[in-house]
Amino acid sequence: MGITQKLSLMLEHLIDGSLEFGKNLIFAIIVYFIGRYVIKFLMRLIEKIMLRRKLDETLRSFVSNLVKVILQVTLFVFIITILGVRGSSIMALVASAGLGIGLALSGTLQNFANGVLLLLFKPYRVGDYIETQGIGGTVKAIQIFHTILVTSDNKTIYIPNGTMSSSLMTNFNQQKTRRIEWNIGIEYGESFDKVRQTILEVIGTEKRILNSPEPLIELNQLADSQVVVIVRVWVKVDNYWDVYFATNKKIYETFNQKGINFPFPQLTIHQ
């Protein structure tokens, strides 16, 4: 066989291979777009089923995220199989690189495991306001690797589940009630009984303040320039900030109406 024939044969093989790969590539692209549509359809279906069964929102978020990842990985494997990569080759590659992948993903797998533990023990749920690592926010979602918080100034923060499981965390919504505390400064010489009665009147007009446990009003501190009166009341968790700010305003206005003076720093000089 001459050189010309060999080149012609190689060219034929190259053209045949290119045509075959081209057909596979077009088929793979079609499968990709169809697969994306199917995944979206299945995710909506799964979400409807979970809503119908009234599953906890935290569990729904985690399951949806997990199923979506599994479906996307399955689609990816199917596409590369269409492109000519054999399943046995994929398994051999994964097996040979297993140790390296395991070491590289150790932190990620730990986050996944801790995400499962968070769902089982439920130290917080979607919608709870929590503080951890000096960060406070409302839980938006618990994903397979991260917990998503939205801060009060509308910043989105992703915290690894491993960090959430191993660090100190405060949940402000786990209990049904919460205590509000004020430390109110008044001038020396003001009648404590008058101040106490005035605060009781203010508290009595706020229907969201609970009667049990009873409100506490006591003289807490004799400071340098003021007498500090401590006030403690209990409210439902959802009413905390509304009652706090509303009562602040009422106390300020009522003290002014009744001539109860707020202190300011004073310095007495003897000559």
Return the CATH number at 160: 2.30.30.60
Q: 233 and 163: one domain? A: no
**For residues 156 and 150, what is the distance between their CA atoms, to the nearest angstrom?**
5
Q: How far is CA 45 from CA 9, 67, 76, 108, 164, in A?
A: 53, 12, 21, 28, 30
Q: 48 and 22: one domain? A: yes
167 found inside a domain: yes
Question: What's the pLDDT score for residue 137?
Answer: 94
Domain boundary among 69, 96, 123: 96
Please give the residue range of the domain that contains residue 74: 3-96
Q: 187 and 152: one domain? A: no
Question: What's the pLDDT score for residue 9?
Answer: 66
Q: 165 and 91: one domain? A: no
Query: Is residue 218 packed enough to be buried (19+ CB in 10 Å), middle (13-18) or exposed (0-12)?
Result: exposed
Of 172, 155, 148, residue with least CA distance to 239: 172
**For residues 261 and 188, what is the distance between their CA atoms, to the nearest angstrom?**
9
14 found inside a domain: yes
- Residue 11 pairs in a beta bridge with none
For the chain, what is the domain count?
3
Question: What's the pLDDT score for residue 243?
Answer: 96
Q: What is the three-class DSSP state of 146?
A: strand
125, 139 contact by CB (below 8 A): yes
Contacts of 49 (CB under 8 A, 6+ apart): none
- Name the pairing type of β-strands 227-236 and 216-222: antiparallel
Q: 8 and 92: one domain? A: yes
186 found inside a domain: yes
Question: Which residues of the chain register pLDDT less than 70?
Answer: 1-19, 85-108, 265-268, 271
Domain boundary among 119, 137, 171: 171
Of 139, 182, 134, 184, residue with least CA distance to 161: 139
270 found inside a domain: no
Question: What's the pLDDT score for residue 101?
Answer: 45
